[in-house]
Every structure is written in C-alpha cells, then in structure tokens.
Amino acid sequence: MFARWRYRKRCHAAARLCQHPNVATYIREYAGLGVDKLSNTPLIAVDLEMTGLDATQNHIIAIGWTQLDHGRINLASNRHLLINAEQSVGHSAAIHELTDNEVAEGMPLEAGLAVLFEAARGRVWLFHHADLDVAFLQQACLAWTDVAMPFMVLDTMCLELTLRKRRELPVHHGDLQLTRLRRNYNLPAYTAHNALIDAYATAELLLALAENMDTSGSLRLKPHLKYY
C-alpha cells in the first residue's frame, strides 16, 4: 500500500515537471491506474533491442510490443518500430540481426516513444527482466521530456522467481532466461530474435505463469507489481 502511495506521489511530481503536454497527461492518468486481476487489467508487453547493455552509453534501435486485454493477447495490436540510433549496432547485430543500414531507415527515438506511450495508456507494463528495459526507457525519456518516467511493471522473470521460491525449487545460472522458461512451460520456440517476437513471447510466458501461480482463478496482479 505504501509503495503504491509513494509511486502515485512520484507520478504527480513528474507530471508537474514534464514540459511535454501529452506525456504529462499520460503520467497523471497513470497515477490513478486501477490494477486488479489479469482477466480485467489491460497490459502492454514490451521488448527493446539495444546496441549494448549500458543505458547511459548505448542506444535503443528497435521497440516491439503487444497488448493484452481480458487475459488474452491482442494480435491486432502488434507493433515493431525500428529506431534511427546515432551509434553503430556493432557486435549486437549478431543477436538482433539488425544492420546499420536498416537502423538508419528507422524513425527518430522521440517519435517512437510517442507511439509507444500512446499504446501504453491505461495499461500496466510487462517485461522480461524489466530492470534493463526500464533503464533504457527512462534514460530515453529524460532526453525526450526531462523527466524520468514512472513505470508500474510486471516482470515475468520475477514471477518465475516467486513461483520457484514458493515451491522451494533451486535457481541455477540461466534458468530465468526467456527461451529456457518458455521451453519449461512447453511454449513454442521462436527462432527469429526481434523486439516484437520477444514481446509476444513474454506475453505468452505471462499467461503460462499465471496459470501455474493461480489455478483457482485469474491471477491477482497487485502483489507482483514493481514500481520504477
């Protein structure tokens, strides 16, 4: 309860400081976002592709997302945006398979963020390993609006960790990787690695986790929220 109150207070403070009217409106609305069960709480699963892992030095080069409504993935909401970064993709191209030429044809980061946050209105954010993605988004938002955007998040990696602790199961190196967890839950293997596919894969993993964490009904989300 205190964490949610403190989060709302941060939202209102950020909205007052924000010089971007649409973003300020988003933050004010987000402060009062209602969260209940998976079946009645809208979510947006998001994944980023970056040139590296340092949010202060590296750049976002792709954003992918899909929305969840009434506990189901909305395929019509799928989006994948290439972002024109001012940095070579370097060795990261071996992971996300994006070249400098492809990235050069992408949209400016601020335009991509505007589309993303419009899609996120009224929704809880969903990530796999949220700390990394949120760090990049907050750094990008600081440059865009001079505000470190508040986030209310579900993290499938943390949900799996909670489930294992509840069942007193060990966690070994690599156990919490997205691909390995999907294999454990008999979810299909996706060979292509891009932001949209990983966002969709995260949404599918959430549904599998929710079924295992609450077999009596729809999973209550509040105990699992993280605030940034």
Question: Helix, strand, or coil here: 72?
Answer: strand
* Other CB atoms within 10 Å distance of the CB of residue 191: 5
Distance of alpha carbon 49 from alpha carbon 222, whole angstroms: 28
In a domain, 23, yes or no: no
What tens digit of pLDDT does each residue of 75-109 get? 999 999 999 976 555 544 444 556 666 667 789 99
**For the residues 105-126, what does the mean pLDDT come to?**
95
Instruction: Specify the pLDDT at position 106.
Output: 87
Residue 25, CB-side half-sphere exposure with 13 Å CA sphere: 6
Poorest-pLDDT segment among 13-27, 62-76, 125-139? 13-27
Instruction: Specify the pLDDT at position 97.
Output: 57
Instruction: Specify the pLDDT at position 93.
Output: 47
Instruction: Specify the pLDDT at position 138.
Output: 96
Q: Which of 148, 146, 145 is nearest to 135 (CA)?
A: 148
Distance of alpha carbon 171 from alpha carbon 149, whole angstroms: 32
In a domain, 9, yes or no: no
Give yes or no for a contact between 163 and 151, defined as CB atoms under 8 angstroms apart: no
In a domain, 163, yes or no: yes
Poorest-pLDDT segment among 29-38, 40-49, 123-132, 189-198? 189-198
In a domain, 28, yes or no: no
**For the residues 55-77, what does the mean pLDDT come to?**
96
In a domain, 13, yes or no: no
When the pLDDT of each residue in the chain is averaged and rounded to a whole number, the result is: 91
Residue 4 CB partners (closer than 8 Å, separation 6+): 222, 225, 227
* Other CB atoms within 10 Å distance of the CB of residue 119: 16
**For the residues 19-37, what does the mean pLDDT come to?**
92
Q: How far apart are the first and last CA of the chain?
A: 15
In a domain, 170, yes or no: yes
In a domain, 15, yes or no: no
Q: Which CATH number goes with the domain that contains 176?
A: 3.30.420.10
What tens digit of pLDDT does each residue of 52-62 get? 999 999 999 99
Residue 212: which domain range? 37-227
* Other CB atoms within 10 Å distance of the CB of residue 135: 17
In a domain, 5, yes or no: no
What tens digit of pLDDT does each residue of 171-200 get? 999 999 999 999 999 999 997 679 999 999
Number of domains, the chain: 1
What is the identity of the amino acid at 141?
Answer: C
Give yes or no for a contact between 64 and 196, defined as CB atoms under 8 angstroms apart: yes
Residue 209 has pLDDT above 70, yes or no: yes
